Every structure is written in structure tokens, then in C-alpha cells.
């Protein structure tokens, strides 16, 4: 249970900064949808799935979650009790941080692996798309991490709640795999949800046997889902340490000693 609140959470300038980031983040998503334009790319984009398929990506969903959190945090700073209950909740902060961190790490790791399309700035459309990618995968993870280092209260995260962090990634993974299998043309937001991905790596040259391909894929997907609570465990320890430091800094016993 929280016993003290960080003074920064009453600073209106801080609230304005957070609100500005939230507006920019949601504005960029709206701009991306409004200015959608399909470009055929034989390596990355060969089928036009429509402008609203943009929301199928974990990247976009995690950034929407960040937007929601930032708005709640800003309104909390400006005095909204309802927003405080959400923005100050340790598990909300943990899931936001875990999801956006995975988003950033996976995308950046995709460059050397050839899985992330290169950034291009040669015209408005490409510059807009590149700016969206930079904001979603680099700026937002960094900004949220900075906020994560400043817990609003001294409430701690209990280890027994960490498995909850895996619930959404598991549901998202199952949905993405099933959707890809049932739609024509098939759409998989990420190559590791495609049953042929691991088959071509581990059974290269053999004729595809789809049920076996799914069985091969399953443990890799589950391992990926399990990474979320493992990452959350490290983040929770960092959070609890920062919360303890906040408690000590605001404790009357410490300040008058």
C-alpha cells in the first residue's frame, strides 16, 4: 500500500510535458491512418491489407497503451482521482513499460537480422513512416523508461502478480496465428507467427507438413511469451528499489535524523 506521493506528481509543468507527449503520440497514429498509402515491396510488403490493418501490430497496440497511460498520468497530475487510480497502479506501470520495451528491442534487433524495413526519408510519405517508426520504437520506450524510474508513489510490485504480464502477449500471439491461418490472403504481423518461418530454418529442404510446422512453432512462441514476465521481473526489482528510495527520501524519520 502506498504511503507517500512523489512531489513531482503535483508539478503542473511535468503534467503538461506528459500531456504533450500523449497528444503527439496519438496524433502521429491518426496522421499515419489518414495518410495511408500502400507501396509494393517484394521483401516486406506484397499485399495491401488496408489502412486499418495498422492496428494489428503489437507495436501500435503497445503505443496506444502508452498513450492511454500518458493521458491518465497527465490528468492525475492535474488532480483527477480516477486517473490517479490507473496511472499510479504499479501493475499498469509495469505492463506499459514491459510491452513498450519489448516493442523497441525487437524492432531495433530486427535491423541487423534484416527483419525490420530500412528507414527512408526521400519524400513526405517515407519521412512520415520513418518518423512513426522512430517515435514508436525508440523515443517512446526511452521516454516511458524515464517515467518508470520515477514511481509516483512508494507502492511496490508483488512477485506473485508478474505472470499477469504474459496474459496479453499470449492472447495476442494466439489471435495473430489463428487469424493468419483463417484469412485469405493470410496476414501475420510478424514472421515468427507464420508456421513456415521455423520450418524453413529447422527443416529446410523438406516438404512442408503444416501440423508439424505448428508443433515446431509452438514452443518458440511460448518461449517468447515467457520472456515478458522475465523482463517484468527485472523491471519490478528496479521499480521496487526506486519506490524504496522514494519512501526513504520522504520519510519523516529519515529527513529529521
- 114 and 58 in contact (C-beta within 8 Å)? no
Question: Taking 50 as the threshold, does the pLDDT of residue 257 lie above it?
Answer: no
Phi and psi at 41, nearest 5°, equal -135, 115
pLDDT tens per residue, range 187-228: 999 989 999 999 999 988 899 999 999 999 999 999 999 999
pLDDT at 255 over 70: no
- pLDDT tens digits for range 126-173: 999 999 999 999 999 999 999 999 999 999 999 999 999 999 999 999
175 with 225: CB under 8 angstroms? no
Give CA–CA dist 141/138, Å, rounded.
6
Is the overall model pTM greater than 0.85, yes or no?
yes
- Is residue 254 pLDDT above 80, yes or no? no
Helix axes 58-77, 140-148, angle to 10 degrees: 40
C-alpha cell, 241: 528499489
Alpha-carbon distances of 172 from 92, 144, 189, 195, rounded to whole Å: 18, 22, 10, 16
Amino acid at each position: 500500500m502506498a504511503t507517500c506521493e512523489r512531489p513531482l506528481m503535483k508539478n503542473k509543468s511535468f503534467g503538461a510535458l506528459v500531456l504533450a507527449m500523449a497528444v503527439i503520440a496519438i496524433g502521429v497514429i491518426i496522421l499515419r491512418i489518414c495518410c495511408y498509402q500502400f507501396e509494393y515491396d517484394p521483401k516486406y510488403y506484397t499485399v495491401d491489407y488496408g489502412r486499418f490493418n495498422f492496428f494489428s501490430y503489437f507495436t501500435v497496440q503497445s503505443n496506444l497503451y502508452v498513450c492511454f497511460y500518458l493521458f491518465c498520468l497527465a490528468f492525475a497530475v492535474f488532480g483527477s482521482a480516477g486517473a490517479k487510480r490507473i496511472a499510479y497502479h504499479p501493475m499498469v506501470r509495469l505492463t506499459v513499460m514491459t510491452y513498450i520495451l519489448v516493442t523497441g528491442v525487437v524492432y531495433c534487433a530486427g535491423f541487423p537480422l534484416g527483419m525490420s524495413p530500412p528507414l527512408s526519408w526521400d519524400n513526405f510519405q517515407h519521412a512520415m513512416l520513418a518518423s512513426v517508426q522512430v517515435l514508436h520504437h525508440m523515443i517512446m520506450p526511452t521516454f516511458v523508461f524515464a517515467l518508470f524510474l520515477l514511481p509516483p508513489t512508494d507502492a511496490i510490485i508483488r512477485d506473485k502478480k508478474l505472470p499477469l504480464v504474459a496474459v496479453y502477449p499470449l492472447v495476442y500471439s494466439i489471435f495473430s496465428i489463428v487469424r493468419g491461418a483463417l484469412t485469405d490472403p493470410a496476414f501475420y504481423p510478424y514472421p515468427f507467427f507464420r508456421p513456415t518461418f521455423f520450418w524453413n530454418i529447422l527443416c529446410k529442404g523438406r516438404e512442408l507438413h503444416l501440423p508439424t510446422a505448428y508443433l515446431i512453432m509452438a514452443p518458440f512462441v511460448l518461449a517468447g511469451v515467457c520472456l515478458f514476465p522475465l523482463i517484468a521481473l527485472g523491471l519490478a526489482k528496479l521499480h521496487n528499489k526506486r519506490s524504496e528510495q522514494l519512501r526513504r527520501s520522504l520519510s519523516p524519520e529519515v529527513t529529521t535524523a
